[in-house]
Structure 1
Amino acid sequence: MRRRTNRRRHAQSRDPRGHWLLLILILPLAFGALLFEGWTTHEVDAAKTRSDCTTPVPSAVDKGGPVVRLDGGTVKSAGMPARNVALTYDGGPDPVWTPRLLDLLRKHHAHATFFVQGAKAAQHPDLVRRIQAEGHEIGSNTYTGAVMGAASPFRARLELELTQQALAGTAGIHTNLLRLPQTTAVDTMCGPEWKAAQRAGADGYTLVAADRWFRKPSQGVVRQFTQNDVAYHDTEKLLKNPRIGKFTTVSFGAGLPPADTPAPAPERWLGTALVWIKALGYAFVHGMAWVLGIAGGLGVLRLASLVFFARAHVRRLVRIRPGSPWLREITDPVTVLVPAYNEAAGIESTIHSLLGSDHPQLQIIVIDDGSTDDTADLAAAIDDPRVEVIRQPNSGKAAALNTGLAHARCDIIVMVDADTVFEPDAIHQLIQPLAHPAVGAVSGNTKVGNRRRLLGRWQHLEYVFGFNLDRRMFEVLECMPTVPGAIGAFRRDALMGVGGVSEDTLAEDTDLTMALWQAGWRVVYEETAIAWTEVPTSLSQLWRQRYRWCYGTLQAMWKHRRAVIEVGPAGRFGRRGLSYLTLFQVALPLLAPIVDVFALYGALFQGPVLSAGVWAGFLALQLACAWYALRLDGEPVRTLWAMPLQLFVYRQLMYLVVIQSVVAFLLGTRLKWQRMHRSGTAAQHIGQPELGRPVPYESLPS
């Protein structure tokens, strides 16, 4: 009944859907918010210092008051009446000094004019509303404080329009007062700044400069401050000056209509959207700065840990290794299970490599899981009594392995993939750690056979640097999460004790390994047991394979989550292995696309030299660790040239796999045992002694 149920469930499985397409919508939105935040924060395309004036302002402006209105070609100036002072503050609102200045003004019952920057107004909307609520006047200091005379016409117009939208979204107002950044008295509105002033005046703005400092407050002045501690103390002195009769706003003192008028509804809606975009960009930038720092630190810590534990692994855990004086050599007969589904291209090479093993006592069981090609016939045609072929309807890889397990006659079981080619001594080396009574399973060393093309080289580097270096660390920490399906040895009683190979997940090898830990068995890595496998040769095949692996791993992690709170070997595996997988193989890859976007933001807005330096430093660290991993596995280091290219394509594909898998897991999608197109090239490196043989321990670098 259970077998029929599993077959029915397998038949109902479906191919993966493109959930990751949501990323196409999310990433542009994130990058758009970052781009806007970077533009408004770092003033791209805007001069930070003004150029020297080549032409003065018109005499009517130079000799007039600090409040300038341009009506066509006519210049109208105004100033403050005697004993009236208009306090004006540029920039902000500032979260530190604006509240202090407002408290000081309220204490003395004075009013002022705040020329705010739109970007900061959108960032601190509550302060804008407080300025308005306490009766102060609000003017524009442009959106980013850019020098308007140096800005392009498009940039200048955008500076003013975005500021109006920010004020509409925060306080529901529109202002006609403008102070050009980096100008003081009217004579500083010269040269390019005067042209910018004329354009703004044509749009209905009243330009506000400041009186020269030698003009006495008793004569009536417009005073200009930047929001800081100096402005606070100078304001305090002015407010205590008995010669000043009134502190007023610019519009009221100059006899102008109120500058603040209600903004129309469409502008308020646009302003609200602007405030949200600004808040999103600001939160995203600062949040990702922390994430990037933490992720970078964890990445460096991971690389350092891999090298440290790999070196510890090299120095040997002799108590569970062949050659130890108290461990016997294992020569017991072995049953090899070969599940196969449409593997006609490679099944003969796999079987012949097994028959060529220097461990002669073998029972080789090929389980054909409903293949539609000649897989079963090719296997059956091999004339050797050690080879048995079992045919069954398509039920999935786990079911095929259980079928083979039911026909096994030996106490040691080796499970292999049908595209894997074994070195002659691989099986003998693989089973030797089983001499230790606590070891229930052994992971072999899987190498990439078809590595001549770029995609194959990338996967070769991942197998050596990623998988095998991880396995060395996992063995030392006693938390090996996976004995790969390509090459793994098991005690038969350990397998039967956990109920065989579970059909609950798509990563049956990971699920089985975790179950063995929970049953109290240890799992180790034997790097001298080498098997060659054929990896996908196209990005689409690679996507399907890794999607299935990642999805199945998530299922297995969830299934065995209680290991985190258990004791003994199960608890060590849960707290170390599951935590490691959750952090480095799920959480960080989920954030990786956003981190990449943020790295692009840093290159654009925070200096390409710094970003390139950080990237180059991390790449150099990875190359050093990869060199060590290749050295441990006896692989030529010339393959490292492909690693920098891996960071631009291959890594992004792996991140998308994780994202797709997590979404599919949360939605409960089921996947089939997917078939990869084989070309039978897994054994192309067999017979090349300079490749793939681990370096003797005594010759390894310290």
Structure 2
Amino acid sequence: MTFYNQWKAASSSGAKGVALWRLGTEDPSVWDVVKGHKVSEIQTVKNGEIAYNYGEGSILHAKTEASPGERRFAFDSKGFISGEEYTAMPQAPEIERLSKIFNKEIVLTFDDGPDPKYTEKILKILKAHNVKATFFMIGENAVFHQDIVKQVYEDGHEIGNHTFSHPNTINISKNQLKYEVNATERVIQGITGHSSILYRPPYGDNQSTYNGYDETVYDPASFQKMADTTNMGYITVNYDIDSSDWKAKNSKEIVNRVMKQAENGDIILLHDGGGNREATVEALPQIIEKLQAQGYTFVTAGNLTNKSRESTMPAVLKAENPIIQNIKLILVNIAALHTVFFVLFYGTLIVFTLRLLIVFYLALKHKRKADKLQFDASYQPLVSVVVAAYNEENVINRTIKSVLKSSYQNLEIIMVDDGSTDGTSKTVTEAFKNNDKFGLLRKKNGGKAAAVNLGIQKAQGDIIVSIDADTIISSEAISLMVRHFNDEKVGAVSGNIKVGNVRNLLTTWQHIEYVSGFNLEKRAFSMLNCVTVVPGAIGAWRKKLVQELGYFTADTLAEDTDMSLRILRSGYKISIEEKASAYTEAPEKRKDFLKQRHRWNFGTLQCLWKHKRAFGGRKHKALGFMALPNMLLFQFIFPLFAPFLDLLFVLRLCTGDVKHSVLLYGCYFIVDFLVCLVAFRLERISSKPLIALVIQRIVYRYLLLWVAWKAVLAALKGTKVGWNKLKRSGNLQVTRDSSTERTG
């Protein structure tokens, strides 16, 4: 009231400024006057940022919370305040310090546990020295190390609440704080059968260390968090001897810091978790022995407030026993699931790593071997190129033209129209009727296997090259594949399929998959003679062998995989020719992609079942112990569990294990990128598409997961799966020797 009148008088008389004595003790409302705020705002009596302290020590709780006062003013005719009436008195925040300090009593406290490596070592040291301590545990760690929590309690130590995931509580909401504290409380109750009234905020509370004065400038947000936990029934146990063991280089530093501060404090902060605590373990016996030598007695935080452990950790009420039993059951299940996830995650990681190393080594070995291979240029057998087509009028002509441009001249082309309902036959007849190398066969629709078989039966050549109707082959492709058949042991040769319509994100992802798969996996398996798929898009076959094996069969939707496996089981070799490029049209729409991959996956499952006796077979060990298990594991089993691994990753992020989780997944993506980069370098093509790799590994993986699940369920239910013919867009772009030719 007096300042308002003085300010008004000074302002009206032309005063240039005023001075306050002394800053920090003034009524906060004076600043509302200076700023020219409305009188209604001045009527609220504000509190400053001063928290008043009562008692001693660093164990405290909020006694009263801050609340503003209210007053009414009366004004005279000149606008000066002539009267003032308080309708509500302001209440300052008050902190009650609860320690009952006796001479030479000191407390050992440990934060961030329990840890399976360090907490148990610390417990042994404490037991050997007959010292009790207080452990402030993180709920997440307690869930996964329940046996250690039990041991801490059974050894007579106190357990305090250190939140569930160790967040900086100043930055979280009141509701999240309640979750963090209550979740940890339930975990402690479920494991020990006792509650705890002891709480320590993560990262401590450097504003709450008692400095000997009755008033301390205290951040309102920090006080409010203390008030929140006080209202939840907790007392805050801070510390006044900071060992800084989390950053110490050795045990000597820790011991020296503690001993220097011991005279001015009574609660020592150490850590039994959250990092490497070897130095803490080494320092602990020295700290205990040195302090005992100076006459100190070790007590618990509860003892420092003149409370027994039964008071700081009361038994759970009988009325809550059903809840506690349910919590115990949940904790047991969580621990079991954690073990399963742990084994699953790291088991998968080990398998993936071993597979990667083996595949990487064999792929590079194959690359060196392939560069040194020499072939007989005089070997020029007649080759029959068989093209099975069904409703391919948009793309068939470009496919036939690419074959006719082949550098290999001793060939014939047999196109089998498998009952097309569009103008496929008319289109090729008009385009190639005068070409002696081209022949057209027409039949009723019966599926690709039957169409290819008809072409083989009518073929004159000893070598069959089968290509899909949407594929464009490089001019050297046939020459490069055929030369391998000079070796009588070679039964088939796989070409190198490339995506020719890299137009959007989906086709880019498929492009990455094709390049990585061929240049690593196929190269590796070629070294072991267990290439399981000679693709229908571009593959060469020894005609006599195909006939001996009974041609392609229609009992699976992956006739090319089935024939490849039959050839291997017959004792023949399957080679790959990296330079025999074929450009295929990959699905550009998600729906078409899922249809195609569902057919491929279902067909592969059919082949695995059909050739189940080859698993672990002694006749062809590489096939039985490497290739077929690889197909089963990495195409079906591991993808089925991918969501659980991702769920584990998300759960660990949500529970605060961000650094460890991000590090693991970050390393996975880096290694994955490097592997793909090597594959692209082996192919000698631009690695620009790898920009989309991270998104591919997240989104694309779940598309593949979906079709894997769908295929497995369809197989288990006995659902009939059709061919699901895809509509061709004709958007194919072929790259040769740095030049680009667009078709369609």
TM score, norm. by length of structure 1: 0.70
- Measured against aligned partners, the alpha-carbon deviations of 1:83-117 in whole angstroms (never above 9, x if no partner) come to 99685533234445655666677789886654434
Compared CA separation, residues 314 and 106, structure 1 to 2 (3 A): closer
- Measured against aligned partners, the alpha-carbon deviations of 1:556-594 in whole angstroms (never above 9, x if no partner) come to 3443354454456x3344445435545665566667677
Aligned amino acid, residue 682 of structure 2: Y
Find the partner of 2:711 among 659, 664, 675. Answer: 664
Deviation at 1:387, TM superposition (A): 1.7
Point out the more displaced range, 639-648 or 268-277: 268-277
Compared CA separation, residues 619 and 603, structure 1 to 2 (3 A): farther
Distance 1:610 1:100 in 2: 28
Distance 2:223 2:595 in 1: 63
Aligned residues of 1:338 and 1:367 also touching (Cα < 8 A):
yes
Match for residue 218 of structure 2? 191
Match for residue 390 of structure 2? 341
Answering whether residue 256 of structure 2 is matched by residue 262 of structure 1, we say: no
Match for residue 673 of structure 2? 619
Compared CA separation, residues 494 and 101, structure 1 to 2 (3 A): closer
Aligned amino acid, residue 439 of structure 2: V
Match for residue 390 of structure 1? 442
Match for residue 23 of structure 2? none
Deviation at 1:520, TM superposition (A): 1.4
Match for residue 535 of structure 2? 484
Match for residue 190 of structure 2? 169
Find the partner of 1:306 among 363, 371, 392. Answer: 363
Answering whether residue 584 of structure 2 is matched by residue 533 of structure 1, we say: yes
Distance 2:97 2:409 in 1: 105
Distance 1:210 1:445 in 2: 68
- Matched residues, percent identical? 29
- Measured against aligned partners, the alpha-carbon deviations of 1:322-349 in whole angstroms (never above 9, x if no partner) come to 32xxxx52233x4443322222222344
Answering whether residue 109 of structure 2 is matched by residue 89 of structure 1, we say: yes
SS in 1 for 2:727: coil
Aligned amino acid, residue 322 of structure 1: D
Match for residue 559 of structure 1? 610
Aligned residues of 1:88 and 1:115 also touching (Cα < 8 A):
no
Aligned residues of 1:140 and 1:178 also touching (Cα < 8 A):
yes
- Measured against aligned partners, the alpha-carbon deviations of 1:583-632 in whole angstroms (never above 9, x if no partner) come to 665566667677778889699635989987885675356335413312xx
What does 1:490-639 align with in structure 2 at a 5 Å threshold?
490-527=541-578, 529-563=580-614, 565-566=616-617, 570-578=620-628, 581=631, 605=659, 615=669, 619=673, 622-630=676-684, 637=685, 639=686
Structure 2 portions without partners, runs of 5+: 1-47, 66-93, 242-257, 273-279
Find the partner of 1:368 among 410, 417, 425. Answer: 417
Deviation at 1:509, TM superposition (A): 0.8
SS in 1 for 2:190: helix
Distance 1:190 1:269 in 2: 45
Aligned residues of 1:173 and 1:261 also touching (Cα < 8 A):
yes
Point out the more displaced range, 105-114 or 402-411: 105-114
Compared CA separation, residues 498 and 200, structure 1 to 2 (3 A): same
Compared CA separation, residues 85 and 511, structure 1 to 2 (3 A): same
Distance 1:298 1:656 in 2: 23
Distance 1:435 1:304 in 2: 28
Match for residue 54 of structure 2? 60
Answering whether residue 698 of structure 2 is matched by residue 678 of structure 1, we say: no
Distance 2:301 2:643 in 1: 53
Aligned residues of 1:398 and 1:502 also touching (Cα < 8 A):
yes
Aligned residues of 1:367 and 1:404 also touching (Cα < 8 A):
yes
Compared CA separation, residues 88 and 593, structure 1 to 2 (3 A): same
Aligned residues of 1:331 and 1:359 also touching (Cα < 8 A):
no
Aligned residues of 2:509 and 2:696 also touching (Cα < 8 A):
no
Distance 2:521 2:707 in 1: 23
Distance 1:244 1:448 in 2: 76
Name which structure has the greater RCO, CA cutoff 8 Å, separation 6+. Answer: 1
SS in 2 for 1:489: strand
Aligned amino acid, residue 188 of structure 2: L
Compared CA separation, residues 692 and 293, structure 1 to 2 (3 A): farther
The alignment of Structure 1 onto Structure 2 pairs a total of residues equal to: 617
Aligned residues of 1:80 and 1:86 also touching (Cα < 8 A):
no
Deviation at 1:676, TM superposition (A): 1.4
TM score, norm. by length of structure 2: 0.67
Find the partner of 2:483 among 401, 410, 432. Answer: 432
- Measured against aligned partners, the alpha-carbon deviations of 1:188-214 in whole angstroms (never above 9, x if no partner) come to 697346554444334433344679999
Distance 2:127 2:663 in 1: 48
Distance 1:559 1:368 in 2: 29
Match for residue 468 of structure 2? 417
Match for residue 230 of structure 2? 201
Match for residue 50 of structure 1? none
- Measured against aligned partners, the alpha-carbon deviations of 1:211-249 in whole angstroms (never above 9, x if no partner) come to 9999xx9xxx97656455444565578899999799995
Aligned amino acid, residue 234 of structure 2: Y
Compared CA separation, residues 359 and 666, structure 1 to 2 (3 A): same
Aligned amino acid, residue 229 of structure 2: A
Match for residue 120 of structure 1? 141
Deviation at 1:519, TM superposition (A): 0.7
SS in 1 for 2:311: coil
Compared CA separation, residues 607 and 79, structure 1 to 2 (3 A): closer
- Measured against aligned partners, the alpha-carbon deviations of 1:11-67 in whole angstroms (never above 9, x if no partner) come to xxxxxxxxxxxxxxxxxxxxxxxxxxxxxxxxxxxxxxxxxxx98864522xx3665
What does 1:146-161 align with in structure 2 at a 5 Å threshold?
153=174, 156-161=177-182
Distance 1:336 1:293 in 2: 44
Aligned residues of 2:161 and 2:200 also touching (Cα < 8 A):
yes
Match for residue 35 of structure 1? none
Answering whether residue 372 of structure 2 is matched by residue 315 of structure 1, we say: yes
Deviation at 1:175, TM superposition (A): 2.6
Match for residue 640 of structure 1? 687
What does 1:3-82 align with in structure 2 at a 5 Å threshold?
58-61=52-55, 64=56, 68=60, 71-72=63-64, 79=99
SS in 2 for 1:60: strand
Aligned residues of 1:603 and 1:609 also touching (Cα < 8 A):
no
Aligned amino acid, residue 544 of structure 1: K
Distance 2:581 2:461 in 1: 22
Deviation at 1:663, TM superposition (A): 5.3
Distance 1:211 1:685 in 2: 72
Distance 1:414 1:667 in 2: 32
- Measured against aligned partners, the alpha-carbon deviations of 1:516-540 in whole angstroms (never above 9, x if no partner) come to 1111112223455554433323333
The CA RMSD measured in Å over matched residues stands at 5.0
Aligned residues of 2:131 and 2:298 also touching (Cα < 8 A):
no
Point out the more displaced range, 120-129 or 142-151: 142-151
Distance 1:309 1:596 in 2: 34
Distance 2:698 2:172 in 1: 40
Distance 2:218 2:679 in 1: 59
Aligned amino acid, residue 191 of structure 1: Y
Distance 2:622 2:657 in 1: 42
Distance 1:462 1:124 in 2: 41
Deviation at 1:440, TM superposition (A): 1.8
Aligned residues of 2:101 and 2:304 also touching (Cα < 8 A):
no
Aligned amino acid, residue 657 of structure 1: L
SS in 2 for 1:415: strand
Point out the more displaced range, 367-376 or 148-157: 148-157
What does 1:158-307 align with in structure 2 at a 5 Å threshold?
158-179=179-200, 182=204, 187=210, 191-192=218-219, 196-208=225-237, 224=268, 226=270, 229=281, 230-231=283-284, 250=303, 253-254=306-307, 258-259=311-312, 260-262=314-316, 264=320, 269=326, 288=345, 291=348, 295=352, 298-299=355-356, 302-303=359-360, 305-307=362-364
Larger radius of gyration: 2
Match for residue 329 of structure 1? 379
